[in-house]
């Protein structure tokens, strides 16, 4: 049975996400991507005008899916602090060394594509701002319900937490140890209390 156009486009993005999560953006050529996806070259250009436009679509899809998961976690039961710490535990679990297929594309592709494409960098700016906005909302709710200290403005605290966890994710890759996540969790708990 032949896939619909939207299914084929999504199939290409799904295959690419797996490949690029492992190898990076520039290391995956169109030939490898299309062979792995089982898609002819002409079909790729039917859905995407260029590899750069494809990269934008890949990142937009990643953020859409990721933000949906974040929203679910942040609307769970418990105080705002408990929900925010639950999100951070989810981050550590999904970015653990054994979950190569779920790695954060911000960490994997961020530095690489920001130098290659202003449009892809723009998607990263928008997506990371949306994540920080959600963390900010949790901090505001936590300050309102008393579960998070009011020591810092919510936006400053949210940006600090996000930067802390991005750095920890990078160090997990560099050290092949999950100890940076333990340090990030300890520091996050300190910031929130």
Q: What is the pLDDT of residues 43-87, one digit of tens each?
A: 888 999 998 999 999 999 999 999 999 999 999 999 999 999 999
Phi, psi of 126 (to 5 degrees): -65, -45
pLDDT above 50 for 1 = no
Q: DSSP character for 116?
A: T
In this prediction, residue 103 has a pLDDT band, given cuts at 50, 70 and 90, of confident
Specify the pTM: 0.89
Average pLDDT, rounded, for the chain: 90
In this prediction, residue 121 has a pLDDT band, given cuts at 50, 70 and 90, of very high
In this prediction, residue 101 has a pLDDT band, given cuts at 50, 70 and 90, of low
The larger pLDDT score, comparing residue 36 to residue 110, is at 36
Instruction: Tell me if 175 sits within 8 A of 151, measured CB to CB.
Output: no
Report d(CA 73, CA 83) in Å as an integer: 7
Q: Which domains does the chain have, with CATH numbers?
A: 51-192 (1.10.357.10)
Q: Which H helix or E strand runs over 177?
A: none
């Amino acid at each position: 049975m032949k896939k619909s156009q939207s299914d084929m486009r999504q199939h290409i993005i799904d295959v690419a996400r797996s490949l690029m999560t492992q190898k990076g953006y520039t290391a995956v050529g169109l030939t490898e991507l299309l062979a792995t996806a089982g898609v002819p070259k002409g079909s790729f250009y039917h859905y995407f005008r260029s590899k750069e436009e494809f990269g934008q679509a890949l990142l937009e899809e990643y953020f859409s899916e990721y933000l949906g998961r974040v929203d679910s976690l942040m609307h769970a039961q418990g105080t705002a602090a408990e929900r925010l710490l639950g999100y951070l535990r989810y981050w550590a679990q999904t970015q653990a060394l054994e979950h190569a297929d779920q790695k954060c594309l911000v960490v994997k592709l961020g530095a690489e594509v920001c130098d290659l494409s202003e449009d892809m960098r723009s998607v990263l700016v928008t997506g990371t701002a949306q994540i920080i906005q959600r963390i900010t909302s949790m901090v505001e709710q936590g300050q309102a319900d008393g579960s998070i200290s009011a020591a810092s403005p919510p936006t400053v605290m949210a940006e600090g937490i996000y930067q802390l966890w991005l750095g920890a994710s990078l160090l997990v890759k560099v050290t092949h140890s999950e100890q940076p996540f333990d340090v990030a969790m300890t520091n996050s708990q300190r910031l929130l209390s």
